[in-house]
Amino acid sequence: MGFVMSMKILNEPTREAGPWSIPNLLTYARILVVPLVVLCFDLEERGKSSDAARWWAVGLFIFASVTDFFDGYLARIWKQTSSLGKMLDPIADKLLVAACLLLLAADGSIAGWSIWAAIVILSREILVSGLREYLADLKVALPVTQLAKWKTTLQMVAMVFLIAGPAGDKLFPYCTQLGLILLWIAAVVTLITGYDYFRAGLKHVIEE
């Protein structure tokens, strides 16, 4: 009986989800996290419970990263699609990453040569977003590769260490340095995946 029921679930057709579906709510939550993380950095700059503000920012960022996984996962297992979700999901991801990179650059956590790693990551996000938008008009999908998923994971882990920053250094002396190393590794993988996406997209552009 259980096997038959599971087979029925797997064979269910994909259906359009409403704006208040759980996957969409998780995406909204990720967008709302962005101003809260900015507020945490602002409180730290004002000297109000600086370590606590950093740890709150870490917690919020981890929460947002988890929602990034679960909104897509739940949409897949529940066979739900949403035009709104498809639009907002990548926007939420890029808002979170861009805001955190700018905050970390502003407070000096990312400085010197490491600024280039942040620029590479941001530039790739803009390039791929523009390419996806153009290819969408041609009815061409640009699927996420496994390497791109690893890039995202490296990027998120690096930013957790960097957001922890001075507060993290008190518990783990090389917290910020480890974050910078991981950020550079993520930037290198970003260049590789960005080139792969651009090459795949350029083929369709030339054909068009």
DSSP state of 82: -
State the Cα–Cα distance between residues 179 and 186, nearest whole angstrom: 10
The residues near 70 (Cβ < 8 Å, ≥ 6 apart) are 23, 26
Residues 56, 107: Cα–Cα separation, whole Å: 16
Lookup: tokens for 160: 């957790």
For 6, 36, 151, 158, 172, the CA distances from 96, given in Å and listed in that order, are: 36, 11, 15, 14, 25
Q: Which of 176, 154, 178 is nearest to 165 (CA)?
A: 176
> Is 156 exposed, middle or buried, given 0-12, 13-18 or 19+ CB atoms closer than 10 A?
buried
The amino acid at 143: P
At 114-162, the pLDDT tens digits run 999 999 999 888 887 777 777 766 666 666 778 888 888 899 999 999 9
pLDDT value of position 70: 75
CATH 1.20.120.1760 fits 16-207, yes or no: yes
DSSP 97-129: HHHHHHHHHHTTSS-TTHHHHHHHHHHHHHHHH
pTM of this prediction? 0.81
Tell me the pLDDT tens digit for each residue of 11-38: 455 565 566 777 788 888 889 999 999 9
Which one, of 13, 6, 63, 7, lies nearest residue 34 by Cα?
63
Quote the tokens at residue 54: 């950093």
Strand residue runs (E) in the chain: 15-16, 80-81
pLDDT in tens, 32-58: 999 999 999 988 777 666 788 899 999
State the pLDDT at residue 15. Answer: 60
